Amino acid sequence: MKKILIVEDEENQRLLYKTELEEEGYIVYVAENGVEGLKKFELERPDLVTIDIKMPDMDGMELLQRMREIDKDIPIIMLTAYGEYSQNFTTWAADKYIVKSSDLTKVKQEIRNLLEKE
Amino acid sequence: MQDNPKKLNEIPIEDEYIYALSQIGQIATSRLDLNKRLEQIVKLTKRLLKVDVCSIFLYNEPTEKLILEATDGLDPDSITKVKLDIGEGVTGTCAEIRKPLMIPEVKKHPKFKYFPETKEEIFTSHLSIPLISFDKLIGVMNVNTIKLYHFTDREVKILQTIASYISGAISDAQIYNRALRRVKELSTIEEISTALSSTMELQQLLDLILKISSEIVKCEGGIIRLLDSDSKILIRKASSGMPYESEIIPDLKLGEGIAGWVAKEKQPVITNDVIGDERFIHPPESMVKTEICTPLLIKDEIIGTISLYNKLTTPISPEGTFDEEDLRLLIILANKAALAIDNAQLYYELKSKVEELSLLFQVSDKLSSTIDFEKVLDSYLDLNAKLLHADKCSVKLIDATGRMFETVRYIGLSDDYVKSRSEQIKDDGTNWVITEGESLLLPDITKDDRVYNIPSMVKEGIKSLLSIPMKYQDRVIGVLNVYKSKDEPTFTDDEVKLLTISANQAAISIENARLFKDTQNLAKINQDRLREISILYEIMRASSSTLELDDVLKVILTGLTFGDGFGFNRAFLLLPDEKIEFLEGKTAVGPSSYEEAWKIWQQVSEEELSLKDILYRKRDDEEYLTELTKRIKAVKIPINGKKVVGRTFLEKKPFNIKIAIKEFPIENEIGELLDWEDFAIVPLLSRDKAVGVVIVDNHFNKRAIAVEDINFLVMFANQAGLAIDNATVHKKLKESISSMEMANIELQELKNYSENIVESITSAISVIDKNTIISSCNSSFESFIGLSKKEIIGRSLLKLPLKIEEFDLMGIIEETSTKGEPQELSKVHCLANNKKVIADISIYPFKDSLKNVIGVVLSIQDVTDIVKLEKRVKDSEQLAMLGELSAGVAHEIRNPLVSIGGFVRRLQKKHKDDETDREYTSIIIKEVKRLENIVGEVLDIASPKKLKYDLVDLNKIILDIMNILKTSCRDKEIKVEQKLMESLPTVFGSSSQLKQVFFNLLQNAIEASPVGGIIKIETGHRDNEDFVMINNEGKSIPPYIKEKMFMPFFTTKIKGTGLGLSVSSRIIELHHGRIEFKSTEEGGTTFTVFLPKSAVKIKGL
């Protein structure tokens, strides 16, 4: 069973993603900020990570970089409500960059793709 | 004969004839070989008379034929082949009648005979002159012309004169007769002896002695024998009157035969019947009947004998007897003859010694032959002493200054005397002789004040002195001295003469030899210098053609190793590091093995490459980085005086290591590198400062390094040092220039910026007096008003095209000038030069030095642009606020929408069976979607500055990047081959992003390249795409890396983010393009970026 770590500061969305993805048959870990996310990343060694860019304290970009330093092979999807970050080179270090939508079909599809590639 | 083109009738200048005749006369009587004389005479005669042929026939008595002996004009092959009888042909007829024969048309002459071998058929006029001497026919001389010509009397006479010269020259008998006549004329024996002593050729002298003796004593023949001092045998040296005797008369031992007896007993003998004399041993065939024989004595020493004979059948002397008177005459003659013979012998030896001297001077090197030279001088002195029967002699050669002796040799003088001599020319009579250039003969030295150092000479027992200057072309180059003691007879005139000849001959030899040597030296020096200079020139020219340090270094080393240059086998160059603590190997030139050396030398000789070719050869080909260079680059040695290379650098002195190796150990690294003990180290100097060292050796051909090589190397090193220094300075200069260029660009930007500011503030300033008349203004005011200063100044402000809305400008000006307080108006709308302008206006009181207000300064600042700018800023601030708001909105609205929409979808799934629930949830989902779309659109609009997309020139990007990466390439000695398609169309994209891509790719290529590798860059287009291909020769990329290459943070480098390739691929993706790559062992690694040719839309996000 593949493990997915979701780093998201919005509680409702954490719940949404967790529920939806568990239904898809993944083991889902959640973290509500960058620090917690990093801790769980090291502890759980997930097969995939989704990160919300805009978070208090450590933002998604920094977290992305930290995670890559630890293990650059784990696929990471950046999720954001705001497309502007797509032009920041740093976000390109992520495997995917997805603008959030209430329709999770796309996210699920990308997760499947990335995990299959492994 | 007006039709004669030669104008032979013209009378030549008298002098010319005289000169030509005297020349012919000289030739006729010269000592040249007869044939040569005749040859020259016919040539000169032909030229003198302007005829076409001149020939000489000689009469051969035994065959009674005229034989062609010389010609100028006839076929030279016919010489000696044409033979005529007397009376045969025209020439024979001339000989017969013994008169000149002039025939204008010789072919019509009845006697004419044609000799085909002469090829004389072309000649028309003929003149023959008989050669007659003492009524005897000698031969015939002919001249001919091609054209018809009548010889004048004058020409006949001239030819007769020439003929008489020839006759005289040819007639041996005549010469003989003349000599005899001269002997007869000598009335006294003394005169004879003078004649004898003037003849220095021994054989000539002996012949002469015999002739004179025969004449005086009246006999038929005679023999002179000389005693060989080693074998004690009397050897026949000359004989006369009895030619057949030469074969049958033997050489005699002392005591053998009459001459042997005479020699042994030193007594003369007269015998009038040799047959009855038991001492006589001539064979009967000699027919000798009477003999008179006397010894030749020098200081009572026998040197030979003279014998005179009459034969059994003698018609001259009927009695054939010798008497006492004959003997007396012969003894006197013998005494003189002995002296002359001795002198001649000495002279002969002297001559050979002098020749030896010249030879010695010419062939031998001064250094090694000084001793030999002195030896020769000593034996020369010895001979002179013998010649003068003295035992003390000296020769003193003066040096170039004329004040010092260069070489002084003595014989017969004591060591004390020799040691006491000074080097100065003030010695014995030398000073006077040198100054005057005359001989000095002093019978008594003590009575003459021209002599120096008399006491020491007296101490040596010297009484008389003969000093002869050794002259060469009126210049005294030395002095020959002969000293005699009081016991010896003083010098005779003959002795003075003899010594003068000797001295002058020696002078000529020595001087010629010196001259020869000087010339030789000079030539050698010139040659060497020329070679040096031309090499230096080539090298310096080549090194000045480039100021790139690496190129200069290579040129220098090439100059050292190339055959036309120094021809060293290998050259290494080391330069100090920045702190001058270490010397670091920089570069080397030369083969790394014997095989390579052989190959290179063969190549150079086959291609006949000159130094120039090599120097100007493309400098960055593969020879650049040889094995040797790699090895020298690893060398780093401390600069200290302990070992030889460091020491060379410190002391700035060259070392030739064959000599110094024991004294100074060599740095291990250098020793290992060279693997050869014979080499030279030379410091490279620039302005007296060491800038490096060069090591050269001949490892492969083992040629020893000569002193001259080192000298030249030093000279070269100075030049090379300068070149290196220049290049280093140049390098620094270049660096500072580039940093200055940077600074300059910044400055330029700053300047532009401030100019922009000035432009945008455009304060128009004018000074106005109390009567509103403008007294001065600035150029901004000019342009603001639209009039020139000339038009403005002196006019009233009221009359200018300037109107201010809302304000009464004149009133304000008046107020300011009365109150003396400044006023400011902000953003006033005015009409200046018919343009609507917004301006800030300031009015200041204008005061004189006494602080009286004399007017106002009006400053108008056009703030139209600023106002506009302000508005734009305000707008953009609003936009930025909107942007920020959008982000906030996004978060605040989109996030909840995600939650709402997300969970509704879940609800829908749960209640999918309930029709009503599904309908309601679908509505919510649809509405959420609508909201999300609206939010997305709003955010798109509010999204701040988008990346600038434009038309991009890919070639320019590549060139810009390569410019940045140039240094890295040079450091790794990477060669870049660019093949950029000139007509490559521009692509639509982000210049900065694409730069980022190609920078990444090229930097990777350089890092992956091996040292000295090649990077190929190619641009072009294929189908609908433009492409940029970058290839390097690096190792192929293993498959496991290939897969991950484009992943972010993936890197094989120690330093690096691992973002390069992933970012690049994302950028290209964004440009609707793609990156392909291929990596094989043979082809290296190639990245190709494809971009769509047509303008692309930005990939929406």
Find the CB nearest B943 among A72, A83, A94. Answer: A83
Element (H, E) at B695: strand B689-697
Burial class (CB in 10 A: 0-12, 13-18, 19+), B220: buried
* pLDDT surpassing 60 at residue B187: no
3-class state of residue B831 by DSSP = strand
Q: In the CATH hierarchy, which fold is given to the domain comprising A3-117?
A: Rossmann fold (3.40.50)
What are the residue ranges of helices labelled H in B50-147? 89-97
Which is higher by pLDDT, A88 or B54? B54
Find the CB nearest B898 among A82, A95, A100. Answer: A100
Q: What's the gap in Å between the CA of B891 and the closest CA on chain A?
A: 6
Say what the pLDDT of residue A47 is. Answer: 94
Q: Which residues of B touch A70 (CB under 8 A)?
A: none
Write out pLDDT tens, residues B440-451: 888 888 877 787
In-domain check, residue B746: no
Which is higher by pLDDT, B354 or B678? B678
* pLDDT surpassing 80 at residue B611: no
Element (H, E) at A52: strand A48-52
Find the CB nearest A68 among B900, B939, B1048. Answer: B1048
Which of B884, B895, B938 would you mutate first to test chain A, the one with the most A CBs within 10 A?
Answer: B895
Q: How many domains does chain B have?
A: 7
Place of tokens 């969970």: B903
Mean pLDDT for the stretch of residues B152-157: 83
- CATH, residue B232: 3.30.450.40
Per domain, the residue ranges of chain A are 3-117
Mean pLDDT for the stretch of residues B599-618: 63
If asked whether residues B238 and B300 sit together in one domain, one would say yes
If asked whether residues B995 and B857 sit together in one domain, one would say no
* pLDDT surpassing 70 at residue B921: yes
In-domain check, residue B519: no
- CATH, residue B781: 3.30.450.20
What B823-832 contacts at long range (C-beta under 8 Å, 24+ apart), as own/partner pairs, is: B827/B863, B827/B867, B828/B804, B829/B804, B829/B805, B830/B802, B830/B803, B830/B804, B830/B805, B830/B860, B831/B801, B831/B802, B831/B803, B831/B805, B832/B784, B832/B785, B832/B786, B832/B801, B832/B802, B832/B803, B832/B860
Q: Which residues of B touch A16 (CB under 8 A)?
A: 898-899, 902-903, 906
The answer for residues whose C-beta is within 8 angstroms of residue B124's C-beta and 6 or more apart is: B104, B105, B106, B107, B144, B145, B146, B147, B148, B149
Helix axes B493-544, B324-363, angle to 10 degrees: 10
Element (H, E) at B172: helix B172-185
If asked whether residues B339 and B370 sit together in one domain, one would say no
Q: What's the gap in Å between the CA of B805 and the closest CA on chain A?
A: 48
**Is the CB of residue B927 less than 8 Å away from at least one CB of chain A?**
no
In-domain check, residue B770: yes
Show which of residues 72-91 on chain A sit within 8 Å of chain B, judged by CB atoms. 72-73, 81-84, 86-87, 89
A37 token code pair:
């996310």
Contact criterion met (CB < 8 Å) for B896 and A54: no
Contact criterion met (CB < 8 Å) for A84 and B944: yes
Find the CB nearest A83 among B939, B1044, B1059. Answer: B939
In-domain check, residue B868: no
If asked whether residues B374 and B306 sit together in one domain, one would say no
Contact criterion met (CB < 8 Å) for B905 and A69: no
Q: Is B247 left (phi over 0), alpha (psi -120 to 50) or beta?
A: alpha
If asked whether residues B572 and B613 sit together in one domain, one would say yes
If asked whether residues B298 and B423 sit together in one domain, one would say no
Contact criterion met (CB < 8 Å) for B928 and A20: no
In-domain check, residue B750: no
Q: What's the gap in Å between the CA of A112 and the closest CA on chain B?
A: 18
Mean pLDDT for the stretch of residues B263-291: 76
Say what the pLDDT of residue B534 is. Answer: 63
B1077 token code pair:
């790559």
Which is higher by pLDDT, B546 or B160? B160
* pLDDT surpassing 70 at residue B350: no
CA gap B793, B592 in Å, rounded: 85
Q: Residue B529: which pLDDT band, with cuts at 50, 70 and 90?
A: low
Q: Which residues of B touch A87 (CB under 8 A)?
A: 946-947, 1101
What are the residue ranges of helices labelled H in B473-610? 493-544, 549-561, 594-607
Which of A100, A67, A105 is closest to A86 using CA atoms?
A100
3-class state of residue B1089 by DSSP = strand
Please state, as a whole number, how many other Cβ atoms lie within 10 Å of the Cβ of residue B253: 14
3-class state of residue B55 by DSSP = strand
Write out pLDDT tens, residues B65-122: 888 888 888 888 888 888 888 888 888 888 888 888 888 888 888 888 888 877 777 8
> The sheet that has B233-240: what strands, in order across it?
B252-253, B233-240, B221-228, B301-311, B288-298, B269-271
Instruction: Return the number of CB contacts < 8 Å for A and B.
Output: 91
Q: What's the gap in Å between the CA of A40 and the closest CA on chain B?
A: 21
* pLDDT surpassing 60 at residue B5: no
Report whether A7 contacts A52 (CB < 8 A).
yes
Find the CB nearest A81 among B895, B904, B1050. Answer: B895
The answer for residues whose C-beta is within 8 angstroms of residue B76's C-beta and 6 or more apart is: none
Q: Residue B1097: which pLDDT band, with cuts at 50, 70 and 90?
A: very low
If asked whether residues B142 and B36 sit together in one domain, one would say yes
Write out pLDDT tens, residues B168-185: 666 654 444 444 444 444
Closest residue in A to B945 (Cα–Cα): A84
Show which of residues 868-897 on chain B sit within 8 Å of chain A, judged by CB atoms. 886-887, 890-891, 894-897
Query: Residue B309 pairs with which residues in a beta bridge?
Result: B221, B291
Longest CA pairwise span in chain A (Å): 34
DSSP B1065: H
Contact criterion met (CB < 8 Å) for A100 and B902: no
If asked whether residues B204 and B163 sit together in one domain, one would say no
Lowest mean pLDDT among A64-78, B735-749, B845-859: B735-749
Say what the pLDDT of residue B265 is. Answer: 87
Domain C-terminal end among B698, B715, B734: B734
Contact criterion met (CB < 8 Å) for A84 and B1049: no
The whole domain housing B200 covers 192-347
Report whether B309 contacts B222 (CB < 8 A).
yes
Render B921-939 in DSSP notation, one character per residue. Answer: HHHHHHHHHHHHHHHHHHH
Query: Residue B860 pairs with which residues in a beta bridge?
Result: B764, B841
Domain C-terminal end among B821, B839, B862: B862
Mean pLDDT for the stretch of residues B616-633: 63
Report whether B710 contacts B648 (CB < 8 A).
no
Show which of residues 11-30 on chain A sit within 8 Å of chain B, judged by CB atoms. 12-13, 16, 19-20
Contact criterion met (CB < 8 Å) for B1049 and A68: yes
- pLDDT > 90: percent of chain B: 1
Q: Residue B1051: which pLDDT band, with cuts at 50, 70 and 90?
A: low
**Is the CB of residue B665 less than 8 Å away from at least one CB of chain A?**
no
Render B998-1029 in DSSP notation, one character per residue. Answer: HHHHHHHHHHHSPTT-EEEEEEEEETTEEEEE
**Is the CB of residue A10 less than 8 Å away from at least one CB of chain B?**
yes
Element (H, E) at B777: strand B774-777
In-domain check, residue B243: yes
Closest residue in B to A84 (Cα–Cα): B943
**Is the CB of residue B207 less than 8 Å away from at least one CB of chain A?**
no
Q: Which residues of A touch B1050 (CB under 8 A)?
A: 72
**Is the CB of residue B934 less than 8 Å away from at least one CB of chain A?**
no
Closest residue in A to B997 (Cα–Cα): A89
Say what the pLDDT of residue B184 is. Answer: 43
Q: Which residues of A touch B1048 (CB under 8 A)?
A: 68, 72, 92-95
If asked whether residues B683 and B709 sit together in one domain, one would say yes
Which of B567, B545, B900 is closest to B727 using CA atoms?
B545
Q: Which residues of B touch A103 (CB under 8 A)?
A: 901, 905, 929
Which of B84, B143, B88, B78 is closest to B116 using CA atoms?
B78
Q: Which residues of A touch B1101 (CB under 8 A)?
A: 83, 86-87, 99
CA gap A54, B939 in Å, rounded: 15
Contact criterion met (CB < 8 Å) for A92 and B1062: yes
* pLDDT surpassing 60 at residue B317: no
Domain C-terminal end among B347, B372, B399: B347
Write out pLDDT tens, residues B740-782: 666 666 666 665 655 454 444 457 878 888 888 888 777 778 8
Contact criterion met (CB < 8 Å) for A72 and B1058: yes
The C-alpha angle with vertex B960 and arms to B956 and B966, in degrees rounded to 5, equals 135
The answer for residues whose C-beta is within 8 angstroms of residue B6's C-beta and 6 or more apart is: B50, B145, B147, B149
Find the CB nearest B901 among A87, A93, A102. Answer: A102
